[in-house]
Amino acid sequence: MGTGKRTLPTRTGAHRIVISVDAMGGDRGPAVVLDGCAKSAAKNPNIGFILHGKHDELEPLVARRKPLADRCEIRDVSGIVTMDMKPGHVMRQGKDTSMWQAIDAVRAGEAEACVSCGNTGALMLLSVVRLRKLEGVNRPAIACLWPSRNPGGFNMMLDVGADIRADEQDLLQYAMMGASYARNGLGVENPRIGLLNNGTEEHKGRAELKVANEMLANAAELGAYRYVGFVEGGDIPSDRVDVIVTDGFTGNIALKTGEGTATLIRDFLGEAFKATPLSRIAALLAMTSLSRLSKRIDPRRVNGGVFLGLNGTVVKSHGAADATGVSAAIKLAFKLAESKFNERLAARLASVAVPGNDAASREADSGNQE
């Protein structure tokens, strides 16, 4: 791992947090990725980018986006990781791809975080191999934010797709990592953890869930969280929990179902208010409330899953993300880098590995919290 983070100077002499961007990843091409970068740059003077991709294609795109002036370094690569590539093939043949090089910029200490809209399996494998897992982590997890009734507006769920398998030890690690993320990323001082199951009764669920239920309860004090027990699918957007722990198979299905439902509701509302002249008038009268609702359930606002448990911050944006979605993923990466979340997570995992070291772990999480 490299030492010392590379920063791009601002016009005022301050230094920017640098985000390494896989500019060729995703379904919509580099123009949309750069639109997202431009949206972020326009709002945040303290951000800079290393863009990985085909130089001849990226240079004119950057030149046409004024917010990116003096904010980017373009690094030319010859290869692209497509959505249909198998992770193993990318691992063997993908060294000169935008995804590989974007991750390596974090590994070398040239950037604080990596953002990619590309192939999830390949991104996860490359991240694990190039950045390595934090000490004590068995399986990294992807954590995502979920609109909820909580005061902060979001709950967090993990794993949502890093690994379809998870035993009781993995679920306990997810709880520890999720609690640290909730404290430093969402500002929840004493997060409530729930274990996703097909019922809240203790006798329900697979064998590993029953064992994990006891383990999460016993580790609550050491992990500095409150354990609420089993939760069901209906609790995911509720105010009963802050962090939902599950395996990657279940979490990914729940995530995609939630996103599809939110999009369906928005489409149905749009159709309903365009159906008749009276409904169009009603839509005008309710415009402010409808806009608020649309923003609240818009999955693009919380676009970006964070790979937890690695020696570096990687944010996975949806492959079909538009500029708003890419910008949301970049904003999340910036926030985590700014709060030095990954360093605190490593301290947390190291601390909880030693019984009786809870005071040190609490200090690691609370120091310099944004």
Instruction: Say whether both 235 and 88 belong to one domain.
Output: no
Domain with 142, as residue range(s), is: 136-309+341-370
Q: What is the mean pLDDT of residues 250-256?
A: 86
Instruction: Say whether both 107 and 196 belong to one domain.
Output: no
Instruction: Say whether both 148 and 283 belong to one domain.
Output: yes
pLDDT of residue 368: 42
Instruction: Say whether both 295 and 146 belong to one domain.
Output: yes
Instruction: Say whether both 40 and 113 belong to one domain.
Output: yes
CATH code of the domain covering residue 110:
3.40.718.10
What is the tens place of the pLDDT at every residue in 209-247?
A: 999 999 999 988 888 899 999 999 888 888 899 999 999
Instruction: Say whether both 154 and 103 belong to one domain.
Output: no
Least confident segment among 59-63, 91-95, 319-323: 319-323
Helix (H), strand (E) at residue 289? helix 287-297
Instruction: Say whether both 79 and 48 belong to one domain.
Output: yes
Instruction: Say whether both 194 and 161 belong to one domain.
Output: yes
CA 159 to chain CA centroid, Å, is: 11
DSSP label at residue 299: G
Query: What is the phi/psi pair of residue 75, to 5°?
Result: -115, 120
| List of residues 6+ apart from 337 with CB closer than 8 A | 17, 19, 112, 113, 313
Instruction: Say whether both 301 and 322 belong to one domain.
Output: no
Q: How many domains does the chain have?
A: 2
Whole-prediction pTM value? 0.78
Instruction: Say whether both 23 and 117 belong to one domain.
Output: yes
